[in-house]
Structure 1
Amino acid sequence: MTLPNLITDPNTLAGLSHDEAEWAPAGTPWAAFRPESTSDVQDAVKHCAANNIPIVPRGAGTGLSGGANAVDGCLVLDLSRMNRIVEIDADNLLAVVQPGVVNDDLKKAVAAQGLWYPPDPASSPWSTIGGNVATNAGGLCCLKYGVTRDYVLGLEVVMGGPVEYGTAVRLGRRTNKGVAGYDLTSLLVGSEGTLGVVTEITLRLRPAARPQATVVGAFTSLVDAGGAVALCTRRGLQPAALELIDRACLQAVEDWKHLGIEPGTEAMLLARAETAEDADGLVAAFTDAGAVWTERSTDSTEAEALFAARRLAYPALERLGPLLTEDVCVPRSAVPAMLARVEEIGARHGVRIATIAHAGDGNLHPLLITPPGDDNARIAAQAAFADIIDAALALGGTVTGEHGVGLLKRDGMIRELGPDVCAVQNAVKHTLDPLTLFNPGKA
């Protein structure tokens, strides 16, 4: 059996061999293949199993952990052409999509029918649903509405192990409830392509989002902003989103887009409230925690303008040099302590760190900025990266909230899980993929 239309051009393969994770190693693929159907994927998996060729599935390549990076001699399975929205069932609030559907394209399609798909990673204009499933992606709205796993009802997956390699199985259901058998769907979500290749996803939808007001608070201390997050939690406030941006991010956005961000603001919190009562509670919490000023939007256009700095932060910082991106997550009460530790780690290593965060659920994204081509700065940033992981674990947190383990977080994952849990995880991998074909060396 041979595969048609294999991609072997070295320049094309180089572009398909890695995601956006800075300094994550990438091997040289044997070839790449762009399937257009489940049967194409089945053929590819059968061919690779017969020839002992590793398989690395890939979506849009927007990942930040090296999860889609090639290993030497592998077949890169580029799923971007499997981009069909198969079905939108408004009566039952679900959609069926192929893995190459872009997140924002699905949002637009379901919005036309008065529906909403909440998971909204920052990469939603480019990232695919298959990639979101692989990492259990979250985003701004996950504080109140949950992450990708909360919306995946069922999967079609091409697997091996207990079945012949290349067999397509259907996991999960279309019903709102169902407990028949083990929850294999949830096992696959977040598995980063290490247990099989997802070829179709059945997703839960919600009615269209409620109108939201935006509340902004400015703080003269990053730790004070973290204290405001903890205070919101203690008071039982549940905004739809609660985001943090530090001074370095704000300055990068201001230098680039000139939005009129006030000097002297060391951190800004942005929250989305769905009721006037929630908005009042957020204003009070920000003020009581030490905000120097607060502001509440009066219409949707103003609300979006207030969130502009958050959306622009990552691309603004990318202009300054390579970014090593963290995504540690800590208990919400530990957010102030974690922010303080990030500041201390940056100062100790002489590394410039800008922090944005899904602060309401404790998911921090310290962005380590390095001058291009500076090896000493790279080594310092990598050391700071490891120290941030250690600090998060010491506070009862996790090494990754939504970006996935990939290559950059493997050592941290092993420390977090411990030998017994790692042994269980390895047993699952060996059972479902005894040939270690699916994305070897990841997760």
Structure 2
Amino acid sequence: METLLAELRTAVGDSGVLTDADVTASYQRDMMPLAPHGSPLAVVFPLNTEQVQAVVRACASRRVPIVPRGAGSGLSGAANAVEGCVVLVMTKMNAIVEIDTDNRLAVVEPGVVNLDLRGAVEKDGLFYPPDPSSYDWCTIGGNLSTNAGGLCCVKYGVTTDSVLGLEVVLADGEVLRTGRRTVKGVAGYDLTKLFVGSEGTLGVITKATLALRPLPQAPATLVAAFGSTATAGAAVSRIVREGLVPSLMEIMDRTSIEAAETYLKTELGAGPGCAALLICQSDAGGEQARHELAKIEEICLEADLVYSTTDVNEGRDLLTARRAVLTALEIYGSWLTDDVCVPRTRIAELIQGCEDISKEVGLKIAVVGHAGDGNMHPTIVYDPADADQFARAQKAFDDILAVGLALGGTVTGEHGIGKIKREWLAKEIGPVGLRVHREIKRALDPENLFNPGSMFGL
């Protein structure tokens, strides 16, 4: 191992290799407390693709596993260290290599922070849509590895919908370039989509070519307060059925509303009888946005309150409350957030299922989510120092996944499988699907070098 460490220092410089256990401990895991993790041999910070190649070759020659990592904002344990591995932290590869305004694309390194990219392209009147809740500190590489989503998915899709091509270092140290810079192209297998969402199990992403959109108009915002989750769910279904595609459609349950109001020391105008709050935005601009929200308002006939505004600051305040829910729940204790996606017609049933699970386990569960695509984030509040509460939180986590599958959903909409949902992936995709996944993994990474134990247990 000393020889390997010497090679790693030669590859990236002495300052780019950390081995002090007190320091490397902070790189052992992401934000998912249930996922297992080990202690890394070293934490390495490459500065360019050539250094990544050198690190991969050095580790491969000794069969030392590599776990790629971004900012550590993940919620599935996908970036968690395995015992004796090298954690490859990509945050110093943070250059925006190119912004091509005429072709509406950007070429970036994986360590670029999502919000920094959005801010950079906005100066040219362009827009990078994926916006995970941690967009102010999560990195593009992490977004690519988990195929992250966000609040704008209903109109703009998830990360993969904005990726044109990738540069990837493979397990033998060679560089693979996938995709294109053109608007369309069908030459060969779609290897770009294969790597997006692969959670670092197939290779190390070192560059991405991303599609940009024209900067939308300042959004108009509508909020509707419902006395029951069933009526809120019915409104969502009808909005979709009517063919309306707002740029954002979020839902908050009673527990989430109360937490956000307490934390932000403000009122969202929902009222004491509110069971669910629906927040919609349209960035179509001008009369089109007003027309879109007016149609949504007509659909929300059973709401106790409907309020629309074109004031950007008011709309931003409402979204601040939505984004602040996880932080707000820390008022009550630590949190464990789940990630299930169900058909949009089943959202109310999922929320009701979470209420039933909350009563059964005796723990507070708040539900927020992207109503536009059915991706919900039930969040369990518990005391991690209390072994009984921790066990009940784990049970609730699994019970929520079971409800999601029973409703025709999937066990992850955007957080990924990681090391926390491996058995649930097997249940969802079945034995044939699992075999195909493993065969792809063996074809690209025969020595199981990259992120072993993540996704499906190899």
Q: TM-score per shorter chain, which class?
A: over 0.9
Bigger Cα displacement from structure 2, 230-239 vs 188-197: 230-239
1:336 maps onto 2:348 in alignment: yes
Bigger Cα displacement from structure 2, 124-133 vs 251-260: 251-260
Q: Letter of the aligned partner of 1:242 in structure 2? A: M
Deviations 1:324-347 (A, max 9, x none): 111100111111221211111111
Give runs of aligned pairs for residues 289-438 of structure 1, distance below 5 A. Answer: 290-438=302-450
Q: CA deviation at 1:264?
A: 2.7
Give runs of aligned pairs for residues 13-412 of structure 1, distance below 5 A. Answer: 13-160=24-171, 165-261=172-268, 262-273=271-282, 274=284, 275-287=289-301, 290-412=302-424
Q: Letter of the aligned partner of 1:259 in structure 2? A: T
Q: CA deviation at 1:208?
A: 0.5
Contact 1:88 1:95 in 2 (8 A): yes
* Inter-partner Cα distance in structure 1 for 2:134 and 2:230: 27
Q: CA deviation at 1:141?
A: 0.6
Contact 1:223 1:339 in 2 (8 A): no
* Inter-partner Cα distance in structure 2 for 1:307 and 1:13: 35
TM-score (norm. length: structure 1): 0.97
Count residues in correspondence: 437
C-alpha RMSD of matched pairs (Å): 1.1
Q: CA deviation at 1:80?
A: 0.6
Bigger Cα displacement from structure 2, 116-125 vs 336-345: 336-345
Contact 2:92 2:111 in 1 (8 A): yes
Deviations 1:358-405 (A, max 9, x none): 011000000011024111111111111111111111111100000000
Contact 1:155 1:171 in 2 (8 A): yes
Q: CA deviation at 1:234?
A: 2.0
* Inter-partner Cα distance in structure 2 for 1:45 and 1:331: 41
Q: Letter of the aligned partner of 2:298 in structure 1? A: A
Deviations 1:192-220 (A, max 9, x none): 00000000000000011123211100112
Q: Letter of the aligned partner of 1:420 in structure 2? A: V
Bigger Cα displacement from structure 2, 417-426 vs 20-29: 20-29
Contact 2:45 2:90 in 1 (8 A): yes
Residue segments in structure 1 that go unaligned for 5+ positions in a row: none
* Inter-partner Cα distance in structure 1 for 2:231 and 2:382: 27
* Inter-partner Cα distance in structure 1 for 2:265 and 2:227: 20
TM-score (norm. length: structure 2): 0.94
Contact 2:224 2:304 in 1 (8 A): yes
Bigger Cα displacement from structure 2, 133-142 vs 275-284: 275-284
Secondary structure at 2:294 match in 1? helix
* Inter-partner Cα distance in structure 2 for 1:347 and 1:338: 14
Deviations 1:62-114 (A, max 9, x none): 00000000000100001010000000000100000000000000000000011
* Inter-partner Cα distance in structure 1 for 2:221 and 2:27: 39
Q: CA deviation at 1:318?
A: 2.9
Contact 2:34 2:394 in 1 (8 A): no
Contact 1:18 1:26 in 2 (8 A): yes
Secondary structure at 1:175 match in 2? coil
Q: CA deviation at 1:408?
A: 1.3
Deviations 1:249-279 (A, max 9, x none): 1111222211123333221110012321210
Secondary structure at 2:8 match in 1? coil
* Inter-partner Cα distance in structure 1 for 2:258 and 2:345: 27
Question: What's the % identity of the aligned pairs?
Answer: 50
Q: CA deviation at 1:8?
A: 0.3
Bigger Cα displacement from structure 2, 261-270 vs 345-354: 261-270
Bigger Cα displacement from structure 2, 84-93 vs 18-27: 18-27
Q: Letter of the aligned partner of 2:294 in structure 1? A: D
Bigger Cα displacement from structure 2, 91-100 vs 253-262: 253-262
* Inter-partner Cα distance in structure 1 for 2:395 and 2:314: 41
Q: CA deviation at 1:298?
A: 2.7
